């Protein structure tokens, strides 16, 4: 066994993490990372001086370590991740590993050393460490410039207790809070572009996200269900989705289309979706619904229509994209990796039995009068019971048992 180890050092923002909150936050992030990084050669993850240190197995290549860091950076709660080594408190060894870490940091023109010690029992102070390790790096890289202001790479050297942590490649994380630190929500997921982005933004704030997808089945094919499953697999990589319920809405939409004034159909479909989502949310102990709506984006997203759908439920409805332009949502979907899946053609249950001119300024009393023609409460119960759960990897979620038919 060599006396140095390859590590990824995970940094998180410390704002709002005072008192006992902090330990809960760190443990949550640690547990999430343990599960999300299952395919990487990890030895263990420890809490060290306000960081998490991911230890990689001996013999792990720097390509694998870098891939592991790339996976870490996308996990909610991670502000920054750095690649490097843990070693003994020995200046020669520290110099050697600083050279190695820098050689693995990719292309760079300039660098500096930022050393610090958490324990003053280490006899060499940070100024002297900067000088000595800087000298070792200058010997190894005579052609590179030392720059104190805005260098391409900063070589971090941290003496903590009996060990030293040295890193060079450092990448920004997506920030936010670890999933599982902000309760649970139920997200309405179409197979479109917006809803996965909305879900992700709430997950990034620490909420455990469950989804519900309404398909047009049996009146349409089940293509959208496969797309939603593909989207959930993308979100699962960072622990952002726990479970998605699929609800076949087609027959109920047909019923609505038979009697209701055509202009109100979409609002009635949507109110039914919200009610079923709320029922499932209550069963799961969720505190809010989440949608991908953006003000004025399409006919059903006017203020009046948003109000008419909100009035269908008691739970708060969060719309993280309400003030976001489509182009920006598309950018986020591309970064997230869901854009291509969302761009595929699938029958959208909202457009099933689509009227020629949907109402854009629905009056709540008209909507309620139209809805009174149907046994809505019974439908909501039936649809919630029909909902098929699909499970994904989300360490913060404790699975609820689902009623199994006798
Ligand atoms: P998206 O890109 O998310 O589909 P959109 O711009 O196409 O959004 P709508 O189709 O009006 O807009 O949907 C608005 C929101 O309603 C969606 O973001 C989603 O939260 C919810 N929603 C729409 N269709 C469905 C569905 N079939 N199943 C579950 N939720 C849906
Ligand atoms: Mg849509």
Q: Please check the confidence at residue 127 and state whether its pLDDT lies above 80.
A: yes
Q: 9: closest CA among 52, 70, 61? A: 52
The CA 337 to ligand 1 mean position distance, Å, reads 18
Q: Is 102 exposed, middle or buried (0-12, 13-18, 19+ CB in 10 A)?
A: buried
Residue nearest to atom 4 of ligand 1 (CA): 192
Least confident stretch, 63-72, 92-101, 117-126, 226-235? 117-126
The more confident residue out of 350 and 11 is 11
Strand order in the sheet with 184-188: 317-318, 289-290, 184-188, 208-215, 243-248, 388-391
According to the model, what pLDDT value does residue 358 have?
81
- 394 token code pair: 């989300």
According to the model, what pLDDT value does residue 355 have?
74
According to the model, what pLDDT value does residue 360 have?
84
The CA 194 to ligand 1 mean position distance, Å, reads 7
According to the model, what pLDDT value does residue 135 have?
97
2 pLDDT band, cuts 50/70/90, is low
Q: Which CATH class is domain 5-172?
A: alpha beta
Mean pLDDT over the full length of the chain: 93
Q: Please check the confidence at residue 178 and state whether its pLDDT lies above 80.
A: yes
Of all ligands present, the nearest one to the C-alpha of 329 is 1
According to the model, what pLDDT value does residue 50 have?
86
The CA 208 to ligand 2 mean position distance, Å, reads 23
Which range is most confident: 76-85, 342-351, 359-368? 76-85
402 pLDDT band, cuts 50/70/90, is low
Name every residue whose Cβ is closer than 8 Å to that of residue 297 and which is 6 or more positions away in sequence: 194, 326
Residue nearest to atom 17 of ligand 1 (CA): 292
According to the model, what pLDDT value does residue 30 have?
97
**CATH number, domain 184-391, options 3.20.20.70, 3.40.50.10210, 3.30.70.20, 3.40.50.620:** 3.40.50.620
pLDDT tens figures, 35-85: 999 999 999 999 998 899 999 999 999 999 999 999 999 999 999 999 999
Query: Where do the structural domains in the chain lie, given as residue ranges?
Result: 5-172, 184-391
Mean pLDDT for the stretch of residues 106-119: 94
Mean pLDDT for the stretch of residues 94-98: 97
CA dihedral 23, 25, 31, 32 (to 10 degrees): -170
406 pLDDT band, cuts 50/70/90, is very low
The reply to whether ligand 1 has any atom less than 6 angstroms from the CB of 190 is yes
The CA 53 to ligand 1 mean position distance, Å, reads 40
The reply to whether ligand 1 has any atom less than 6 angstroms from the CB of 82 is no
Mean pLDDT for the stretch of residues 184-210: 97
Of all ligands present, the nearest one to the C-alpha of 227 is 1
Least confident stretch, 22-26, 151-155, 191-195? 22-26
350 pLDDT band, cuts 50/70/90, is low
224 pLDDT band, cuts 50/70/90, is very high
Whether the CA torsion 140, 141, 147, 151 is positive or negative: it is negative
Interatomic CA distance for residues 27 and 212, integer angstroms: 29
The reply to whether ligand 1 has any atom less than 6 angstroms from the CB of 298 is yes
According to the model, what pLDDT value does residue 155 have?
98
According to the model, what pLDDT value does residue 79 have?
96
The CA 186 to ligand 1 mean position distance, Å, reads 13
Interatomic CA distance for residues 318 and 314, integer angstroms: 12
Helix residue ranges, H only, 222-325: 223-236, 250-259, 265-284, 303-310
pLDDT tens figures, 373-385: 999 999 999 999 9
Q: Please check the confidence at residue 404 and state whether its pLDDT lies above 60.
A: no
According to the model, what pLDDT value does residue 121 have?
85
- 282 token code pair: 């209550």
Q: Among 186, 187, 188, 268, say which to mutate for ligand 1: greatest number of ligand atoms within 8 Å of CB.
A: 188
- 170 token code pair: 């450092």
349 pLDDT band, cuts 50/70/90, is low
Enumerate the β-bridge partners of residue 326. Answer: none
The more confident residue out of 347 and 93 is 93
pTM higher than the cut 0.95: no
The more confident residue out of 396 and 352 is 396
CB atoms within 10 A of CB 2: 9
The reply to whether ligand 1 has any atom less than 6 angstroms from the CB of 247 is no
């Amino acid at each position: 066994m060599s006396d140095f180890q390859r590590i990824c050092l995970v940094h998180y923002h410390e704002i709002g993490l005072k008192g006992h909150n902090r330990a809960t936050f760190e443990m949550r992030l640690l547990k999430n990372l343990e599960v999300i990084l299952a395919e990487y050669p990890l030895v263990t993850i420890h809490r060290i001086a306000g960081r998490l240190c991911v230890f990689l197995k001996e013999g792990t290549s720097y390509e694998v370590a870098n891939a592991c860091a790339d996976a870490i950076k996308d996990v909610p709660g991670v502000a920054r991740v750095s690649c490097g080594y843990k070693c003994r408190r020995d200046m020669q060894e520290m110099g050697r590993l600083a050279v190695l870490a820098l050689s693995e940091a990719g292309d760079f023109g300039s660098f500096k050393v930022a050393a610090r010690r958490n324990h003053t029992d280490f006899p060499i102070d940070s100024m002297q460490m900067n000088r000595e390790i800087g000298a070792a790096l200058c010997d190894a890289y005579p052609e590179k410039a030392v720059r104190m202001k805005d260098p391409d790479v900063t070589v971090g050297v941290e003496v903590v207790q009996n060990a030293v942590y040295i890193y060079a490649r450092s990448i920004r994380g997506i920030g936010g809070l670890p999933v599982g630190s902000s309760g649970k929500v139920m997200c309405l997921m179409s197979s479109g572009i917006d809803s996965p982005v909305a879900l992700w933004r709430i997950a990034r704030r620490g909420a455990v996200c469950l989804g519900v997808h309404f398909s047009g089945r049996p009146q349409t094919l089940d293509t959208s269900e496969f797309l939603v499953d593909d989207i959930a697999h993308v979100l699962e990589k960072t622990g952002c989705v726990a479970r998605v319920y699929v609800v076949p809405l087609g027959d109920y939409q047909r019923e609505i289309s038979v009697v209701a004034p055509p202009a109100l159909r979409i609002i009635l479909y949507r109110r039914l979706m919200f009610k079923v989502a709320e029922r499932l949310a209550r069963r799961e102990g969720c505190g809010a619904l989440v949608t991908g709506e953006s003000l004025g984006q399409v006919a059903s997203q006017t203020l009046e229509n948003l109000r008419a759908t909100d009035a269908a439920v008691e739970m708060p409805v969060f719309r993280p994209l309400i003030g976001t332009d489509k182009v920006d949502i598309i950018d986020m979907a591309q970064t997230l990796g869901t854009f291509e899946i969302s761009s595929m053609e699938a029958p959208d249950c909202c457009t099933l039995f689509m009227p020629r001119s949907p109402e854009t300024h629905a009056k709540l009393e008209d909507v309620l009068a139209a809805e009174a023609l149907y046994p809505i409460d019974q439908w909501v119960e039936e649809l919630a019971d029909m909902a098929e759960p699909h499970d994904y990897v989300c360490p913060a979620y404790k699975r609820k048992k689902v009623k199994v038919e006798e």
